[in-house]
């Protein structure tokens, strides 16, 4: 169950015209905190992110499903009518407790700063310079002057460090 503050932040992002992935980022952020606190674990950073995105979808954020080729076909298919009926039933207490316990036994390093930065680096490497540039241009449109100034300052700092 997402925290009220997380839902409020996601709603604020939506009001500001930010993309669904930005709105979902709030849920992923909450998930990282939970993994760090030991509320439950995750085997990999990817798993922690997936849990956060799943929470976002449940909360009504319109995050698109995985692209073709990045997830098994069975996971991408729309549920049949029988499955949607089952989804409406209250989840079994025993099962959800078992899932929580299993997750708690998993490691917590998946949400460490090191793991997150390694994951971000890996993901960025798979994107072309044009894609990265396009997403940066898109981000500028909804940033606002103060945030844009801060981002420019950070970019300048990064460039200075690299040279």
| Contact between residue 1 and residue 8 where contact means Cβ atoms under 8 Å apart | no
d(CA 65, CA 71): 9
Q: One digit per residue, pLDDT tens: the chain, 163 residues? A: 789 999 999 999 999 888 899 999 999 999 999 999 988 888 999 999 999 999 999 999 998 887 766 655 555 555 554 555 555 678 889 998 898 888 888 888 999 999 999 999 999 899 999 998 998 888 788 788 898 899 899 999 999 998 7
* Among 60, 52, 36, residue whose Cα is nearest residue 115: 36
| Both tokens assigned to 61 | 């954020």
Per-residue model confidence (pLDDT) at position 86: 57
Q: Taking the CB of residue 80, how many other CB atoms lie within 10 A of it?
A: 9
Cβ burial of 42 (10 Å; 0-12, 13-18, 19+) is: buried
The CA distances from residue 103 to 14, 25, 38, 122, 161, in Å, are 30, 21, 9, 25, 40
Per-residue model confidence (pLDDT) at position 116: 93
């Amino acid at each position: 169950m997402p925290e009220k503050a997380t839902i409020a932040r996601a709603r604020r992002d939506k009001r500001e015209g930010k993309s669904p992935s930005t709105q979902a980022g709030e849920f992923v952020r909450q998930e990282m905190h939970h993994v760090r606190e030991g509320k439950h674990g995750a085997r990999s950073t990817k798993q922690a992110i997936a849990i956060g995105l799943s929470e976002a979808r449940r909360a009504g954020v319109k995050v698109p499903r995985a692209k073709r080729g990045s997830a098994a076909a069975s996971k991408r298919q729309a549920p049949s009518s029988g499955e949607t009926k089952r989804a409406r039933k209250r989840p079994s207490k025993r099962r959800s407790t078992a899932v929580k316990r299993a997750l708690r036994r998993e490691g917590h390093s998946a949400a460490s700063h090191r793991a997150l930065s390694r994951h971000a680096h890996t993901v960025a490497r798979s994107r072309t310079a044009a894609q990265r540039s396009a997403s940066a241009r898109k981000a500028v449109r909804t940033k606002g002057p103060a945030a844009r100034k801060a981002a420019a300052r950070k970019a300048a700092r990064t460039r200075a460090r690299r040279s």
